[in-house]
Structure 1
């Protein structure tokens, strides 16, 4: 699932708003080389915020040495330049009261702030008789651009039986209260959709992302259990200025139109919840994560003539240019005709249906990944796209576009398997100790 560009040229060097230039932070290797005493001291100094560059850092921007600020107006992992690896996990909360939920979010936030700076989840225990606080599989690795993003599902506010377990029922945002309607070409697995909480960990190194989710899952013991998880690799969109458009498993350039972190006006209009929006008292500065797992029938697609593949999408397969001409970022010309009189871009192509000019100017910020779950019993690849979009209001900026896909020529080669929507609260401001604090304390 794509959304087409307006054809505006992309800047090559601007930094995304709200994102500091990636820096080299204090890392696990530097921390551990100093021994336990040095590690405890470093963690103590880190309690008030992100550790600045230092130690063994070289000061360059190698992917394995990138770090991104954890605190800020917005959570990281939204407009952050899309990394190559994703590990996303949804949880069901087993905690019985609001105080326990706060304890979980506080522990998660503290661990995430450490992990995204390249530090262990906590100081190592002195006693060898007790388990270490950090599982250790990433001790020798840098932060690798790790970002950790937290979100809340509808059932955190009222569960499937309608119970208001944590006294949050009256704070359920209207955009989260509505289900995504049933769509064409879908076979939704309810057990691998939804959840009370979601954690999205993205990094340039898959082990760093796994390490983060491994430790957060371990911390959650007694408070929450894993509902489902999804691994993704090879970003299928570009959110950072200067990132080259990647290709999906159909071999197509994917995410040409994805919003970038430097498009502030569009982000304000279509991604960030505003002060006048529903639930603005705690969601202003946040966004909504919409996720769909979409299996791609590659064996069928692979046997299509190139002309049919390009007509299904509305773009040249190699260059990514619209079939009306130009280069990848040229605005599609839907009025242009072939010599035979047909539209150069077929009316049922993906471009023609998803372009903002055909959807009241609506944009969304895509941040999806390829996935592969092995092969099925017939030897066909069980693989496709784990589609993620961040939007200001799913009812206006996601569901209408999804509904139009029933007329999309690409739909014949896709099957939607899971569907989830989560509220992503704003970032941590000064003095806050856990993500979602404005929701759970009622503070504005």
Structure 2
């Protein structure tokens, strides 16, 4: 694909200077934060870090710049605030200006600073502060902010709003409908996504809140999701966490030191698509409702049959260590496979999928209860892949039809985004998505 837009009008438009944030953005933005923070229940901030704590992993700052965006192979943090946005303007210049502002803000916030210098307390007392202030005094908490662009960002309803339709990757398409899902369109898709991960939920919420309020007039929050208790590990130093079914989750996940596998399954390579995406990745998000009460009434034997692993140790059925390779040839004295033919780990395994692997980075969620008194809880599944069409779609086809776990889960939202590579050190002229508008 060409690296320049074909739209002559778009090409003729001058690129706006990266001036400081317009104060008018702040006056209309106050109301937008309620939509973002409203997803945070009263208990979401329980256990939040304070400035007095000295735990190293809470104080650490993750570098914002590098070959790849942070928040993909970065050591998985414990909390997440995931938000998607719809662009509400047709002004190419306004979108560029917002992305430039967001980049400056994101870099500051990942360093533990305010979104803008003296943003909460040191500016005009007769105007809204340019930082909401709830993260004042808190450490960086390994905050990472990862951005991606959905299919509709490039063209919506057939309209090339920003002169970038020719830069849309072929693999960036809405996921097809799969069996056993009840997708809510209002909680799916989106023009832009920002994934905030942190070890302190207040730090993650602060980041999304401030991006949303500064984007007012250019973007509007489509939906957001809070997550707690990571459901995967991206480094070998991390222990395997558990999902809300009580099983260890992500035992066989890709790790940050598996360079060859990451190149094969996560990072978009030169020649895979448009040049602006080389070194980036695709983000697939799925909100999966778990039938908690039904699962809790299920026997341990049935739970382990459904999963294909032992609940206590996490070891595959018939083995003793969590990290032993799955052995589908093991049988009991009745010559029945110890890992059931419809067990989740069997159907989702590389052995069953022709070698396909993905990098998982999901989180547990609880959003209160439904009208029947059942917990609205489950897994907010996030995966990063080199190509969603050739990796995630075949995997989902394999498990959505036959997986024994389908009796206990229902996907309720779905989205896919193209995440550009990281920003180079010292390059102040580039910003999130700048290569799209060259």
* TM category, shorter: 0.7 to 0.9
Which portions of structure 1, spanning 4 or more consecutive aligned residues, are displaced by more than 4 angstroms?
Answer: none
Rounded to whole Å, the distance in 1 between the matches of 2:177 and 2:434 is 33
**Partner residue, 1:241:** 236
Deviations 1:247-294 (A, max 9, x none): 000000001111111111110000000012012x10000000000000
Contact map agreement 1:153 1:197 (CA 8 A) in 2: yes
Rounded to whole Å, the distance in 2 between the matches of 1:298 and 1:69 is 38
Rounded to whole Å, the distance in 1 between the matches of 2:148 and 2:339 is 38
**Partner residue, 1:217:** 212
Contact map agreement 1:324 1:332 (CA 8 A) in 2: no
Rounded to whole Å, the distance in 2 between the matches of 1:407 and 1:162 is 36
| SS of equivalent to 1:151 | strand
| SS of equivalent to 1:307 | helix
**Normalised by the size of structure 1, how large is the TM-score?**
0.84
**Normalised by the size of structure 2, how large is the TM-score?**
0.85
| SS of equivalent to 1:148 | strand
Contact map agreement 1:150 1:197 (CA 8 A) in 2: yes
Unaligned runs of 5+ in 2: 1-50
Contact map agreement 1:85 1:205 (CA 8 A) in 2: yes
Matched, 1:69 2:63: yes
**Partner residue, 2:16:** none
Q: What is the count of residue pairs matched by the alignment? A: 382
Deviations 1:321-356 (A, max 9, x none): 001313100011111111111011111101111111
| SS of equivalent to 2:394 | helix
Alpha-carbon distance, 1:97 to partner: 2.2
Rounded to whole Å, the distance in 1 between the matches of 2:412 and 2:166 is 31
**Partner residue, 1:12:** none
Contact map agreement 2:78 2:197 (CA 8 A) in 1: yes
Alpha-carbon distance, 1:223 to partner: 1.0
| SS of equivalent to 1:78 | coil
Matched, 1:403 2:400: no
2:167 counterpart (171, 188, 197): 171
**Partner residue, 2:262:** 267
Equivalent residues in 2 for 1:29-108 (5 A)? 62-108=56-102
| SS of equivalent to 1:63 | helix
What is the alpha-carbon root mean square deviation over aligned residues?
A: 1.5
Contact map agreement 1:232 1:371 (CA 8 A) in 2: yes
Rounded to whole Å, the distance in 2 between the matches of 1:359 and 1:429 is 36
**Partner residue, 1:112:** 106
Matched, 1:307 2:304: no
**Partner residue, 1:147:** 144
Rounded to whole Å, the distance in 2 between the matches of 1:129 and 1:179 is 45
Unaligned runs of 5+ in 1: 1-56
User: Which piece of structure 1 moves more, 120-129 or 359-368?
Assistant: 120-129
Alpha-carbon distance, 1:127 to partner: 2.2
Matched, 1:207 2:202: yes
User: Which piece of structure 1 moves more, 255-264 or 429-438?
Assistant: 429-438
